[in-house]
């Protein structure tokens, strides 16, 4: 487990009994958002209640509060390869994969172009470097008597990588055994 103490956006969602923590990436164009159910609350119950609309509402700036928090987060690395042909053809992208019907004339003067494969690779890694980069601008303050909240991701949680300006999810995943 990695531990870091800094100011991050944090919210508590009573509806699903979970915390939401925002870890901004360098440049703040992207953020990792972690949805951590309370101890004893099953991750599947959070997933059943989760919709895109609720996620957007839960992570709005007026719902999240910039708070000094101790974050315990496991190191993890997820990597997945996808064959997009099986995903895109049911959505109507069929001609691009057929030699006689594909039309890529706007991209190339060659007439015999078609897609033979469309592969997608997703990769997410969280380690000390990523955590340090996310908190590079955090200000640490001297000792006070205020008890700081903890965000201890030592049980299953969901994570999302969000493009902040577009407010869209680029990646999502679940960590079941941190």
Domains along the chain with CATH numbers: 2-75+127-175 (2.30.39.10)
Q: How far is CA 3 from CA 9, 15, 51, 78, 90, in A?
A: 16, 28, 30, 20, 44
Q: How far is CA 64 from CA 17, 61, 70, 94, 165, in A?
A: 15, 5, 16, 43, 16
pLDDT, tens digit, 9 for 90 and up, residues 36-78: 999 999 999 999 999 999 999 999 989 999 999 999 888 877 7
pLDDT, tens digit, 9 for 90 and up, residues 74-129: 887 777 777 777 877 888 878 877 778 888 778 877 777 777 777 777 777 777 66
Q: Which residue has the higher pLDDT, 115 or 140?
A: 115
pTM higher than 0.75 for the full model?
Answer: no
């Amino acid at each position: 487990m990695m531990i870091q103490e800094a100011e991050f956006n944090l919210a508590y969602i009573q509806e699903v009994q979970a915390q939401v923590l925002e870890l901004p990436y360098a440049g703040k164009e992207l953020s990792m958002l972690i949805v951590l159910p309370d101890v004893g609350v099953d991750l599947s119950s959070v997933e059943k209640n989760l919709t895109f609309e609720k996620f957007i509402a839960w992570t709005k700036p007026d719902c999240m509060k910039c708070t000094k928090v101790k974050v315990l987060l496991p190191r993890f690395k997820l990597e997945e390869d996808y064959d997009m042909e099986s995903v895109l053809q049911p959505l109507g992208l069929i001609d691009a994969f057929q030699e006689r019907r594909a039309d890529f004339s706007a991209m190339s003067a060659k007439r015999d172009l078609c897609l033979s494969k469309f592969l997608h690779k997703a990769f997410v890694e969280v380690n000390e470097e990523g955590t340090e980069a996310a908190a590079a601008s955090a200000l640490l303050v001297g000792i006070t008597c205020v008890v700081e909240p903890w965000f201890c991701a030592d049980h299953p949680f969901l994570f999302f990588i969000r493009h902040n300006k577009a407010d869209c999810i680029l990646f999502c995943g679940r960590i079941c055994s941190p």
